[in-house]
Each structure stands twice: as structure tokens, then as C-alpha cells.
Amino acid sequence: MRTSPKLWPRIEAVAAHLFLAGALLYMSIPFLWMIGASLKKQSEIFRNPPTFIPDELVFGNYVNLFVEFDFLRHFLNSTFLAVVHTLLYLFFCSLAGYAFAKYEFRLKNLLFLLLLGSMMVPGYTLFVPLFVLAIRLKLVDSYIGVLLPGIVGAFGIFFMKQNMESIPDELLDAARIDGTTEFGAFWRVARPLAAPAMAVLAVLAFLNSWNDFVWPLVILRTRELQTLPVILAGMVGTYRMEYGIVMAGSFLSALPVLILFTSMQRNFMQGLTVGALRG
């Protein structure tokens, strides 16, 4: 029997939506499960059949998180590091990206190749020497030690270069004729024009710092200074792990980046893919 010509595309469309819906479930269930568990008593978390929406809503996990685990302090630690990292990273990356986009200078191509090549070096290879260096420079257990190696990076420079190439030279020259220095031309002309790209890079930088785990784990020795991911990881695998509290912590640590992202979702989507398309 021949199916009608309209039927087959419709079946396909349904199948496509079903597959996407399946993927959507896989992506969203862990979030829902985490939020649910954070509002349950330990006894309800370990119940079969499980409940998605808690039978009895409890906020004790959140209270414990702040009282027992000093969550606010670590939240502020992470916030401070992420904000400072983002500001420095934006400044230095856009400055260098601007130089690569808008100047001709000797060794430019070689230097840029070196920059791209540096992205291939895995961080773990540098681990031991970096740690030794941090000890020698007295950077262990300090926020300068956490921040310094990452205040400028190859990816950010590459990203800003791609975005700043479209800035018209005429505008920069006009500023120069008015007597501005080169830095003035960058700061007063190029920087405002590149603001949308910088916003995207800001989210990426914030995200990287906020979620960074290994480097703070190694550099920060004092618990009071530690960041959220390290504190959360420390709660896992301890004797009598309190799932509800850990879930509450995970949820609250994920919340800022989710809010940040949804508030500028459209820009962010485009920004993420810049490297892939032009690279």
C-alpha cells in the first residue's frame, strides 16, 4: 500500500520531535532531580518509588548549608574571584586582540601562531612546575596566585581579534587626528564598538572562573578562602554524605550562571561559536 504523499513527512516530523524531546528530558531531569532532592529530607531522597515533587517540603538543607558549611563565605569568595578575573581578562584580551586586529607590526604572524599553539598545551602538563613556581613566588593560598596565570588568555585574544577586525580604521584615524594616544583610540573608540563581543566574552570568562575546580584546589590551602566547586567536591564522599545539603549547594552554585546566561541568551549563543566558524 502506498502511503499518501503527505503522511511520510508528518511521521518524520513527529519522530524528530520525539528524539529531541528525549534529549530534552535527559538534559533537564538532572536539574529537576537536584532541585527536588534539595528540598527533601534524607529519608525521602532514599525512597522507592521516588518522588519528583517532595511530599514534605523542607528548607533545612539550605539552612544547614549556610550554618554548617559557611556557604555564604564561599559563595562570596567565588563571586569575588569571578568578577576580578572577568574584568582583568576582558581588559587584557581586548587590548591584545585590538593590537592583532588593527596594527601591522613586525613578527605579528609568528606571534599569533605562537598564541594559537599555546592553546594546545594541556594545563596538567604544567601542573607540577606551576605549583613549584607558586610556592617560590609565595602565591600559594593567595587570590593573586589563583588569578594571575589566567588574567589573559589565547582564546580571549583570538575571540576579540575576530570581533575587532570590523572596526573601521577611519574612526580610529579620526580620533588620532584629534590628538588621542593609541591607548585613547582603543579605550574611547574601539572598546565601546566592541562592547557586544566583550559582553559575550565576559560571560565565558565568568563561567570559567566560577566553575574552575583544579587550580583553586591546588593553590588555596585555607578552607576559608576556598571556592564553591572545591567546597562542594569536598562534601562528596565524606563519611555520611548528606545528599540534600550537597544538592542544595549544587543548585545555588549553578544558579548565578544560569541567571547570567538567560539574561543575555541570544548574544551568548552567537558568541560561543565565533571560534568554530572562522577558525
Partner 1 sequence: MHSITQQHIRERLWYRYQRRLAPYLFISPFYILFVVFALGPLIAALYFSMIKWPGTGPMTFLGLANYLELFEDEIFLKSLGNTTYYAIGAVFVILPVALFLALLINAAVVRAKSLFRIAFILPVLTSTVAATIMFLLMFEHQYGLFNVALEAVGLNALKWLDEELVKLSVLLVAAWRYTGLSMLYFLAGLQSIPTDVYEAASVDGAGRWTTFWQITLPLLRPVSLFVVVVSIIGSFQFFAEPLLLAGGGPNNASLTIANYLYRVGFSYLRMGYASAVGYILAVIIFILTLLQLKFFGAFGRS
The interface with partner 1 within residues 69-128 (CB under 8 A) comprises: 92, 95-96, 98-100, 103, 105, 108, 111, 114-115, 118, 120-128
- CA dist 19 and 108 (Å) reads 48
Toward partner 1, which CB reaches closer, 225 or 229? 229
The letter for the amino acid at 16 is A
Tell me if 181 contacts partner 1 by CB under 8 A: yes
Helix/strand/coil percentages in the chain, nearest 5: 75, 0, 25
Among 90, 147, 167, 247, binds partner 1 (CB under 8 A): 247
**Residue given cell 582564546 in the structure block:** 155
CA distances from 6 to 2, 12, 14, 75 (A): 11, 11, 13, 56
Among 82, 146, 151, 194, binds partner 1 (CB under 8 A): 151
Residue 57: CB minimum distance to partner 1, A: 18
Task: Name residues contacting partner 1, limited to 200-229 (CB under 8 A).
Answer: 207, 210-211, 213-214, 218, 228-229
- CA dist 85 and 137 (Å) reads 20
Residue 2: CB minimum distance to partner 1, A: 18
Toward partner 1, which CB reaches closer, 73 or 102? 102
Residue 228: CB minimum distance to partner 1, A: 8
Tell me if 149 contacts partner 1 by CB under 8 A: yes
Please choose, from the candidates 180, 200, 202, 203, the residue with its C-alpha nearest in 3D space to the C-alpha of residue 190: 180
Tell me if 168 contacts partner 1 by CB under 8 A: no
- CA dist 230 and 221 (Å) reads 11
Among 61, 86, 226, 250, binds partner 1 (CB under 8 A): 250
Residue 141: CB minimum distance to partner 1, A: 15
- CA dist 134 and 141 (Å) reads 9
- The radius of gyration of the chain's CA atoms, rounded to the nearest angstrom, is 24
Please choose, from the candidates 24, 37, 51, 29, the residue with its C-alpha nearest in 3D space to the C-alpha of residue 248: 37
Residue 89: CB minimum distance to partner 1, A: 11
Q: Virtual CA dihedral for 122, 148, 229, 132, nearest 10 degrees?
A: 60
* Options 60-68, 163-171, 192-200, 259-267: segment touching partner 1 (CB under 8 A): 259-267
Toward partner 1, which CB reaches closer, 225 or 228? 228
Query: Angle at Cα 149 formed by Cα 145 and Cα 153, nearest 5°?
Result: 155
Task: Name residues contacting partner 1, limited to 15-54 (CB under 8 A).
Answer: 16-17, 19-20, 23-24, 26-31, 33-34, 37, 45-50
Among 39, 82, 157, 225, binds partner 1 (CB under 8 A): 157
